[in-house]
Structures are given as C-alpha cells and as structure tokens.
Amino acid sequence: MGAEPALKQNLSSIKEARLATYNEELHERFMFWLNCTGTSQSKVGAMIGRSSAAVSQYVNRKFEGNLSEFEKDIASILRREEDKDFPMRNPSFCFTSASRKIWTVLQSCAQDCDMGLVVGPAGCGKSVTLQEHKRQYRSDILVTADVTTRSVGAILLLISKQLEGASRQSGTNSAHLQRIIEHLKGSRRLLIIDEAHFLAWEGFEAVRKINDCAGSGVVFAGQQQIYDQMRGGRRSFQWDQIYSRVGVRCHIKDIEKEDVTMIVNNLCPDIDKKSLEFLYGKAAGKGKFRIMTKLLQRAQRVASREKTGVSIDLLKEANSLLMI
C-alpha cells in the first residue's frame, strides 16, 4: 500500500509538468530564430541532446516532459545562436516612402520569381526594410555581403548557411551551386542579397544562375555603383545577362520630409518644429536616416540624463560630439 501514494504523487508531478505554462516570449523567440535560420528540428535536438520528437512537441505546444527544464535548453541555444543585430521586433521601423518602394520590389519578385534591384545611398533605409520583410516573411533568405564575400565561393557559402542540408561539402563551386539550386527548386523562396555592391561580377552571375535554375525570386540591394556598372561600366557587356533579367527596380534618391517627420515622431513624440527642421537637414545630407537617427538617439540619452526634453540646442551639442 505504501507504493500507491508514491505512484500517485509521481503521476501527479508528470501531469503538472505536462500542463506547465509555456514561456510565451521564449517560445516566440525560438520560433523566430528557427524560421529565420532554417535550422531543422533534428539539428536543434542534436544541439541540446534531445530527440527531434521532443523538439517537435515543444514547437507544437504539446511537450510531454518537464517543460521548465526543456526551456532551459532552449534558452541556452538562443544565448549562443540568436543574431543580436537582427531582433525579433524593431519598434523603430517606419514604412517610409522609400520602404514602400522597396517593399513593392520585394513582393513583386517573390510573387513572379523575378529578379529585382534596389539602389540607394547608405542610410536611406534599405537594410532595415529588408530585415522587416524577413521578419514578416520568414522563409525569405536574407544574406548581407561585405568585403570578404566578393568571390563566388564566399557568397554561395553565405546562402547555404541558411539552407539546412545545402551546407558546403568538398568539391567545386559548381557542385556547391548545384546543391543550392536543388534545395531551392520549386520552393519559391525569395533570395535577398543586401550590400550587393560588394559582389564581384562572378558572384552576381552565380546568384543569377540560382534565379534561372531554381525559379526563386532574387533581389539585389546596394549602392548606386551596381546600376552604374550594369549600364555603362568598363565591362558592361558582361552584365547583359543580369541587367536583361531585372524585371523591377527602384532608385532611392531624395529624402521626403514626411518620412523624417514619421521617424522622428516615432522615436521622440512632440518634438518642436525647429528641432524637426534641424533633423531634416541631417537626413537630407550624407548618411541620410541613419545619421539622423543616431543624432536623435544621442540627444535623447543626454536629455534623459539631464531630465529635460530634446531641444535644438541639445541636438546641436550632440551633433558636435558626433562630428557629423
């Protein structure tokens, strides 16, 4: 008879564990990371020493074990793997006129499996718009080129890191490209290359091949030099295959005053008119929205420390500190 109460207690504990409340914020962060990176549930299981079935139960909110302990494992993954530069939400994002133009290109290329081009100066909102699109359409593949990813092999490696099962193996770039194509074929996933002006012509050609053979929409985003070299560069003839496939593009040039007002009011409501005009002047110069936002945020920090509001004098002081 002594074993019966113990058995009931164990069964009760198991039942309580199964009915434990999910940490909603953790679950949402995990799902965001899972979808954005394309990591498989079996790989997650291997990372934390759990079965893929347990991961599947957690994903579908049907976990049958000790939820509290399992969530500790999930939290440990996120501490290691989350991209701190790509948060789950960006409360400062605004749909400016530039963002709406970029969004149209992204949506068109995703729907028609077309190739698109987004061109604009640094700081005009290209990257934040691409990231927001990725947040809302998590099957998108968003990679950011830089000075180290000019070559074909480097850009293919960046892409394959977001495709579970298409990672780089021994072999040629051609074999690597074919694995990516096979992985994407028929998926209709949009491939976005940010800072594409860093790519060499060969890198563009490799991505163009993915568009041709896998049927995935592709969007290149970067600075004006991309379009210039396609149109009239020293070797413009090499770009004919790419330029002729660009079905939709947008050029971001001038900063709209209403966009500045939208961003500033989102970050700092009820700012005075003189301060708004000063910030518009910064946004219209080199660095565009990025410089303007940094300046405003610096002024806000000073204002908070001094327990005062943001003023034109404070903005000018912050401007001198930033040397912009």
Tokens of 260: 């500045």
- Look at residue 140 in the predicted model and tell me its pLDDT: 92
Class of domain 257-322: mainly alpha
User: pTM for the full model?
Assistant: 0.80
Contacts of 83 (CB under 8 A, 6+ apart): 33, 36
Pick among 1.10.260, 2.60.40, 1.10.10, 3.30.70: CATH of 3-81? 1.10.260
- Residue ranges, comma separated, of all CATH 1.10.260 domains in the chain are 3-81
Pairing verdict, β 191-194 and 141-144: parallel
Give dist(CA 252, CA 66) in Å, integer.
Answer: 52
**Residues 70, 50: contact at Cβ < 8 Å?**
yes
Give dist(CA 124, CA 119) in Å, integer.
Answer: 10
- Look at residue 10 in the predicted model and tell me its pLDDT: 55
Place of tokens 């290359």: 193
Q: Is 40 exposed, middle or buried (0-12, 13-18, 19+ CB in 10 A)?
A: middle
- Look at residue 210 in the predicted model and tell me its pLDDT: 95
How do the pLDDT tens digits run along the chain, 324 residues long?
A: 455 555 555 555 555 445 568 999 999 999 999 888 878 899 899 999 999 999 999 999 999 889 999 999 999 999 999 888 788 888 889 999 999 999 999 999 999 999 999 999 998 999 999 999 999 998 899 999 999 998 999 999 999 888 876 666 667 889 899 999 999 998 999 999 999 999 999 999 999 999 999 999 999 999 988 888 877 656 667 788 888 889 999 999 888 999 999 999 999 988 999 999 999 998 888 888 889 999 998 898 888 888 888 989 989 888 887 655
- Look at residue 322 in the predicted model and tell me its pLDDT: 67
- Look at residue 45 in the predicted model and tell me its pLDDT: 93
Tokens of 249: 């593009």
- Residue ranges, comma separated, of all CATH 3.40.50.300 domains in the chain are 97-251
* Fold that domain 97-251 belongs to in CATH: Rossmann fold (3.40.50)
Give dist(CA 252, CA 217) in Å, integer.
Answer: 21
- Residue ranges, comma separated, of all CATH 1.10.8 domains in the chain are 257-322
Pairing verdict, β 218-222 and 246-251: unpaired
